[in-house]
């Protein structure tokens, strides 16, 4: 029988406690057309100059998995927006 691996194949450190990283996850499809699905990660508790403004990051997929660094990020610059919920 197959077993679930206990070793992660990808890690992400959000860099801020309480950011809520991973509260929401979604496939972005393949916006760069390389044949691999990309992933959006929501961080609704992110404080980037405004309390709980939130943030969304896009990680590119590849044959070896997700990239280590987001290729796109967005923040609304509005306190309490919880962008990425």
**Distance from C-alpha of 17 to C-alpha of 66, rounded to nearest angstrom:** 22
Q: State pLDDT tens for residues 7-18.
A: 888 888 899 999
Q: State pLDDT tens for residues 36-70.
A: 999 999 999 999 999 999 999 999 999 999 999 99
Q: For residue 82, what are its two tokens?
A: 């919880």
pLDDT score of 8: 80
CA Rg value for the chain: 14
How many residues are listed for the chain in this entry?
A: 85
């Amino acid at each position: 029988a197959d077993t679930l691996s206990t070793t992660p194949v990808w890690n992400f450190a959000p860099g801020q406690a309480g950011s809520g990283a991973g509260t929401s996850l979604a496939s972005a499809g393949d916006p760069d057309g390389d044949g691999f699905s990309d992933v959006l990660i929501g961080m609704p508790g992110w404080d980037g100059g405004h309390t709980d403004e939130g943030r969304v990051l896009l990680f590119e997929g590849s044959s070896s998995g997700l990239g280590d660094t987001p290729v796109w990020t967005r923040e609304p610059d509005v306190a309490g927006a919880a962008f990425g919920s």
